[in-house]
Amino acid sequence: MLKQNLCLRLLTQVCCILTLLQSQFLRAQDNSLIQLSKNDSLMLLYGDHNTVSIATGAEKPIYLAPSVASIITAEDILATGATTLEEALVSVPGLHISLSFNRLNPIYSFRGIHTGANPQVLLLLNGVPLRQLFSGSRPNSLRMPVSNIERIEVIRGPGSAVYGADAFSGVINIITHTSAKQSYSEVVLKAGSFDREGGWINSFKQLGNWDLQFNFDSDKSNGDRGRIVKSDLQTALDNGFGTNASKAPGPLETRYNAITSSLALSNQNWNFDLWLYKNEDAGVGPGAAQVLDPKGRQDTTLYLFDMKYTSDNTGDWRFETQANYYYGESKSHFVIFPEGTRVLIDSDGNIVSSGGSVVDFPDGIIGAPVTMDQQTAIEFRTYYKGWQDHQIRLAAGAQKHKLTAKDQKNFGTGVIDGSSSPVDGTLTDVSGTEYAFIKDQERTVYHLSFQDEWKFLADWELTYGARADEYSDFGTTVNPRLAVVWSSSLNFTTKYLYGRAFRAPSFNELYAINNPAILGNPKLKPEVIDTMELVFDYHQGSHDQLQLSLFKYEVDDLIQYVIDSNGTTSTAQNTAGIEGYGYELENRWHIAKHLHVNASYSWQLSRYKDTGHIVNDAPQQRLYFNPRWEVISDWHLGLEAYRVFNRKRAINDKRSEIDDYTWVNLTLRYQRSKNDWVFTSGIKNLTDEDAREPSNGRISDDYPLEGQSLYIETGYRW
């Protein structure tokens, strides 16, 4: 209670300061708003790095955008030494990057909305969703490099009125490089701790009226073998059955071998993008059942083809058509329980905690599931400016989702019945039968959206609209938005925001069968969130910004797995939901010509509505600090530090509280524009902090993060 009072007191003080600042700027000269309009036009003309398109679908200065948005530029990425998308995102206020029990896939925890699979965040690549249909979240073992990222735009809060499903707690749009903004080539090699090696090639060319961009990035590592966990679920089984099968103490399996490539071709009207990602023989983190699995592997293959046509401005109308095809394949091989394990098996062939027969598995309990996604989408958009002080956006589109699954295993229904022991490692293919973990599924989605940006007074703008989505498997959902932005002076903006968003149930939550732990429920409804925000934004030039964002949200029909009456399985159910509120204070300050500081503090409190308990695992407070200094000409030194604190366990988890931690990175880089060498060197986890992200208890001592590591990147640009 004392900490909450202190936080609220700080919030009150900041509000008072910003109110005084607003009063001061209200006395500005009468022509300030005219100057603001001119500055906005110049920024849109020259592509200022403080404009965003993610908020409305069209370019807009970030302080006028009707949302709480953040921009991470290529310059920001270089300054922090980030080498992956997740490392770049740690600078976003209100966002914490955690680890899932599922292969240690990243959890993007926005404002206390923290779930195991984390499907509540929509990840876009140049506006196209990167989504796995089975889980509803990002693809397994996706490790997005930063070598081809021009900027990252992030919405903290709802975005379904523009983007539809899963734009729930946040939206992240990765925008790749284009030849239209630069013309050079570079080759860079990289190496580092944990046997990390790789490199990338970037090339930007003009071919007549066409711009061509090519990127190839390779990144490989054996993983940090020092990320040791003391015990796992198999440890408990060994204690109960007198076996010695567990690999614990042992390391989490974090190896990877990722290749990313893209080819983009564009002119004034057309954009063609082809993107490929492969990660072969990746480690499976803590294992499929939270049992260490050094033999398990994850192979992920992703293809994305996107085509967009934009008409020339013809009077008051502009038209866009965008079509894309996405293919994703997730091929897993799990040694779910290791060689020599002994478990109880029921008559259905599944593992149970009591009542079954004792069965030995000398080769281990093995599963080899495969899921293949095909997602085809088309959208038509039109922008109309024929009404004075209005910009209308209309969009309509359709999507086709298809999931195909394969399943091989040496356990489960249709394979064994618990009547014989031992069971060897021979796998039975149950694909396409009633014994598979899921049947092949399809869904169609149609949507229609409307948005109006109305400048109803010289310094006031109202954005309102809604989007309707019709799903073939669960019905129709409508999600409105309303935003009022008041530019009270050249440098001060106040925003009042409301939005509703939804999260579609995944195929796993709807249709999973023959799973010894979790089952689907075809009667599920989508999750819904209503969010209200109040934002004060003081900005000076293109670099200095002080922003305070206050938010309150309510989640209904949250999908969680509820234990069934048999005590062994859990079925997906809509539950009461979550209530949360908090604030984010952020500051970007260009202190001197060669010194720039980014800093932020986030605080949130979220509770389950049915029990009143604090949402587990999500940090209530987060502090971020990033000074950047140009030491001498073309040599830059960057320090990045953030502290994560106040994370609570689940109410039935009796382990000690989750430890706070402070993470520090140091980066030194040399770079000129062209015809010269580029060089970056850095230290991750400078203090070698024993930092951990919470596990679900089967890994008793949580998931350790990487220890101290070094990296170096060097190459030539021409």
* Interval 151-179 mean pLDDT: 95
- Lowest pLDDT segment from 47-56, 322-331, 497-506: 47-56
- What local confidence, expressed as pLDDT, does residue 181 receive? 67
- What local confidence, expressed as pLDDT, does residue 563 receive? 84
- Distance, CA of 131 to CA of 287 (rounded, Å): 22
- Distance, CA of 356 to CA of 417 (rounded, Å): 10
Q: How remote is the C-alpha of 666 from its chain's centroid? A: 24
CB 419 within 8 A of CB 458: no
**pLDDT more than 70, % of the chain:** 92
Closest by CA position to 193, among listed 712, 714, 715: 712
* Interval 85-109 mean pLDDT: 96
- What local confidence, expressed as pLDDT, does residue 46 receive? 33
3-state SS class at 575: strand
CB atoms within 10 A of CB 562: 12
3-state SS class at 513: coil
Pairing of strands 570-592, 518-519: parallel
Q: Where are the beta strands (DSSP E) in 346-389?
A: 351-352, 357-361, 365-384
- Distance, CA of 410 to CA of 422 (rounded, Å): 11
State pLDDT tens for residues 586-608: 999 988 888 999 999 999 999 99
**Confidence band of 51 (pLDDT split at 50, 70, 90):** confident
* Helix (H) / strand (E) containing 270: strand 270-282
Which amino acid is it at 77? I
Tell the residue number behind the tokens 């062939």, with chain if given. Answer: 349
* Interval 335-363 mean pLDDT: 93
- Lowest pLDDT segment from 181-190, 297-306, 334-343, 583-592: 181-190
DSSP string of 76-107, one letter each residue: HHHHHT--BHHHHHTTSTTEEEEE-TTTTPEE
- Examine the pLDDT at 30 and tell me if it is beyond 50: no
What six digits make up the tokens of 161?
């009125």
- What local confidence, expressed as pLDDT, does residue 516 receive? 72
- Lowest pLDDT segment from 130-134, 310-314, 563-567, 589-593: 563-567
What six digits make up the tokens of 173?
């749009």
Residues with Cβ within 8 Å of 441's Cβ and at least 6 positions away in sequence, in order, are 133, 401, 402, 403, 507, 510, 511
- What local confidence, expressed as pLDDT, does residue 564 receive? 84
* Interval 215-219 mean pLDDT: 98
* Interval 129-150 mean pLDDT: 96
**Confidence band of 10 (pLDDT split at 50, 70, 90):** very low
pTM surpassing 0.95?
A: no
Domains, the chain, with CATH or none: 2-717 (2.40.170.20)
- Distance, CA of 304 to CA of 273 (rounded, Å): 8
Instruction: Output the CA–CA distances (angstroms, integers) from residue 287 to 37, 620, 684, in the order listed.
Output: 56, 28, 26
Partners of 540 in the β-ladder:
544
Q: Average pLDDT of the chain?
A: 91
Pairing of strands 121-125, 170-176: parallel
- What local confidence, expressed as pLDDT, does residue 84 receive? 97
- Examine the pLDDT at 101 and tell me if it is beyond 60: yes
State pLDDT tens for residues 559-576: 998 888 776 678 999 999
CB 286 within 8 A of CB 101: yes
For residue 422, say if its preceding peptide bond is cis, omega within 30 degrees of 0: yes
**Confidence band of 473 (pLDDT split at 50, 70, 90):** very high
**Confidence band of 16 (pLDDT split at 50, 70, 90):** very low
Which has the higher per-residue pLDDT, 135 or 21? 135
- Examine the pLDDT at 45 and tell me if it is beyond 80: no
* Interval 631-652 mean pLDDT: 94
- Helix then strand then coil, in percent of the chain rounded to 5, is 10, 55, 35
Instruction: Output the CA–CA distances (angstroms, integers) from residue 652 to 240, 352, 649, 697, 704, in the order listed.
Output: 22, 21, 8, 10, 22
CB 121 within 8 A of CB 108: yes
**Confidence band of 585 (pLDDT split at 50, 70, 90):** very high
What six digits make up the tokens of 254?
């974090």
Instruction: Output the CA–CA distances (angstroms, integers) from residue 398 to 72, 91, 156, 245, 445, in the order listed.
Output: 31, 35, 26, 50, 6
DSSP string of 149-176, one letter each residue: EEEEEEEES--HHHH-TT-SSEEEEEEE
